Amino acid sequence: MDPEAPSDEPDERTAEAAMREAKRSVTPLAGPYGRPLHPLAASVATGAWVCSLGFDLVSQVANNPGVYTRGAYFLILAGVAFGLLAATLGLFDVLALPRNTPVFRDGVRHLIASDAAVLIFLVSFLFRRELIFLETPWSLVLLSVVGLTALSAASWTGLGLSYRWGVRVVDEAEQLPGYQRGAVSEPVPEPGSDPVVDDAPAEDDDVDVATHRT
């Protein structure tokens, strides 16, 4: 082995440090360690947009289509609001990822697909302002399908970020107590915080105390 050859250890240590850093939020606004807010906001936006498409389809056959087009109108508005919130929170998480890495590229793809979905549904919302009492045109139904397609791509890359790369997921060592039978659930501490000191006397101390009493 050539002693002059560069070692891979520094790069491995850097990668490990970057991985641990990506599990933490860069700002409290993104949620505490182990409980990110981005998936919550994204789930609300996804549910609102999926339901809006259902309302659009029902409006095609309903006797009173205005009820469903109005419902789709406000559902899309709610989805856009929560989609913008999710995109902002997701941006905070992507900022913690190291540049020129596979995880960063997946994070950028996730952001682009998410922002595209928000933009498509925002355009759909603006076109719907004159259609409150009419059935939804098929052109806007198709636009919702395109938006949900972009959202599906965002969700797929988002699943990879969490379940493949472990972004904003706590270390496995801290997940282990949740699988132990009879263990008491405790709040997950922030990395770098002081460990909890157990003030209970050790078994040897109990023996010493009993010896002195006798």
Cα separation, 188 vs 40, whole angstroms: 19
Distances (CA, A) of 206 to 197, 198, 209, 210, 214: 18, 15, 5, 6, 13
DSSP 8-state symbol, 3: T
pLDDT tens sequence for the chain (214 residues) = 444 444 444 466 688 888 888 888 788 888 888 889 999 999 999 999 999 999 999 999 999 999 999 999 999 999 999 999 999 999 999 988 999 999 999 999 999 999 999 999 999 999 998 877 788 999 999 999 999 999 999 999 999 999 999 898 888 888 888 888 876 666 666 555 544 444 444 444 444 444 444 4
Q: Which pLDDT score is estimated for 140?
A: 96
Spatial neighbors of 166 by CB under 8 A, at least 6 apart, are: 19, 22, 23
Spatial neighbors of 149 by CB under 8 A, at least 6 apart, are: none
Q: Is 56 exposed, middle or buried (0-12, 13-18, 19+ CB in 10 A)?
A: buried
Q: Is 169 exposed, middle or buried (0-12, 13-18, 19+ CB in 10 A)?
A: middle
Q: Is 64 exposed, middle or buried (0-12, 13-18, 19+ CB in 10 A)?
A: exposed
